[in-house]
Structure 1
Amino acid sequence: MELFQAGAHWSGRRESAEACARRVEVLFRQLGRCDPTYARWFEYAYSRKHSLQLPFDPTFETFLRFFERRKYRLAREVFTFDAWTGQEQQGRGGMLSFTCGSNEPFYPNGCLLHLPREEPAASRVLTVSVLKEVVRAMVQAWDPDGCAVIPEGDRGSKKTMENGGTCLGWLTYVSGRRGKVPSLPRPARAEPMEGQGTLIVLTPERFSLENPAHVVLAGRVRERLEKAGLLSPLPG
């Protein structure tokens, strides 16, 4: 089974601990509505045993306390955090990490969610209907420049995402700040999201790098988005 991750990024945006805590509370609350996988969370630790001793309630007050700790600060007002959903199975299906509040190029703002690899959670979550809600949660929380659900085997997109860049995924959100999404070749479709931007869905079925038709379609859509300047970095 191909593994997937959802990631969002946004350009420099200095924000206080209070502002970031409010955004993170929205993120976790909305993710909790997507699937039971995201109903409980633990602070990430280097051993499962230790992490399971660190449950937390993802509220504004909780994150405000976390952001007071030195371990969750990269700079005075640059905050970072890693969380885990506590599955006992092998894999990273419930890991989430983010950096926010940064206006520094060497601390890019971003959020990354490793999607489930174990059944039955994978079959529930890796569908267009649920992933649309995962992307919507990130959009509502972060107001990002872009967001994408990509196969972890897509090394180019994965590297671009981890470096805070914009890439095309199975599902891709493009902020309205970037411009208008052009017409797309079928079966790809575009629809407005949250009145802030556009969601692009490449295929109604699960996207696969091993499907030549999916790869060709992705290339055609990417070409149109690049021509429209929608994958270029935003200034700031």
Structure 2
Amino acid sequence: MTVKPAPERYPESHFAGAYWGPRREAPDECARRAADFINLLAPCDPSLAHWYKTAKSPKDARKYPLTPPDVNTLTEVFRGGVNREKGGPVFEDLGYRVWFHNGGLPHEGADMRIKCGDYCGATPNSCFMSLPRRGPDAERVLTASVLGHVLRSMAVAWEPDWAVAMSRTHRDMDDENEGGVAAVWLGWVTYFARHWGTVPPLPAPVRIEPVEDKGMLIFLTPEPFSVANPEHVALARRVRGLLAKAGLMRSVIAP
């Protein structure tokens, strides 16, 4: 009898996302922010230092490099990402949507999806990154220090209201805790802009770091946060409660 091999199991998938409310910005303004973000990411990790326009495959994507970032090139990319009905007018209030890739293989690469310039307020503007799931890039990127660098870069370049880096499993658990209400997620690493509210003192081993004069980063644990660790889950619930009392874990438009 032939025994079929068990399907390959991948580690938890992680993402980093920054979110902000209505903000009217032209394509060149979005392009400047994107260029700043790409430049800030470059020293973070080699896998996040090179980005390409979308293509049918990672191999094809390498034909359209975006690094070093050129504002004029990025401006045209954002202009091409306008929202419109086929053959119809442009919906200016919906802003622009673009998608970049770092050229990595499936499950080993990273994607960047940006929605910028939306001022209608139906859904938030965002910079969202799907991070490597396996391989040496994942081992380097999925650390508190690198994810902190990613969120810091997002905060400086995009000036979001809040940002988070976490696993999708952790996000789903956080959604369940909120009873299905769309609220700010508390991740392994979380950022709050200064205008969003004041971060209160938090229990060890939580670490708080300022991001220039823009806001604060919160690191729940120095080691990888896992929903399979009861101590991590208990810590997250305690910290969420303290942040909720401070008015930071408010309901938001679902990203």
For normalisation by structure 2, the TM-score amounts to 0.83
What number of residue pairs does the alignment pair up?
230
Rate the CA distance shift 1:56–1:158 in 2: closer, same or farther, 3 A. Answer: farther
2:190 maps to a residue whose letter is T
Match in the other structure for 1:24: 34
8 Å contact kept, 1:152–1:158: no
Structure showing greater radius of gyration is: 2
The answer to whether the 8 A contact 2:184-2:252 is kept is no
Alignment partner for residue 247 of structure 2, among 212, 229, 234? 229
Structure 2: 5+ residue stretches without partners: 1-10, 84-90
Cα 1:164–1:194 shift into 2, 3 Å:
farther
Other-structure match for 1:136: 152
CA RMSD in angstroms comes to 2.3
The structure-2 alpha-carbon separation of the partners of 1:9 and 1:84, relative to structure 1 and needing over 3 Å to count, comes to same
CA contact (8 A) 2:19 2:125 kept: yes
Residue 106 of structure 1: how far off its partner (Å):
2.4
TM-score (norm 1): 0.89
Measure, in 1, the Cα distance between the counterparts of 2:82 and 2:238: 41
Q: Given the alignment of the two structures, is residue 6 of structure 1 paired with residue 16 of structure 2, yes or no?
A: yes
- Which residues in structure 2 correspond to 1:101-120 (within 5 Å)? 101-120=117-136
Deviation at residue 231 of structure 1 after TM alignment: 1.6
Q: Distance in 1 between matches of 2:102 and 2:199?
A: 35
Q: CA deviation at 1:105?
A: 2.1
Identity of aligned residues (%): 39
In the alignment, structure 1 residue 180 sits paired with structure 2 residue 202:
no
Aligned partner of 1:79 among 64, 86, 96: 96
Displacement after TM superposition at 1:32 (Å): 1.4
- Pairwise CA distance, 1:165: 5.1
Provide the residue aligned with 1:34 in structure 2. Answer: 44
- Matched position secondary structure for 2:24: coil
Whichever residue aligns with residue 221 of structure 1, its letter is V
2:14 touches 2:168 (CA, 8 Å); kept in 1? Answer: yes
Shift of 1:233: 4.6
Which residue of 2 is the match for residue 150 of structure 1? 166
Structure 1: segments with no counterpart, 5+ residues = none
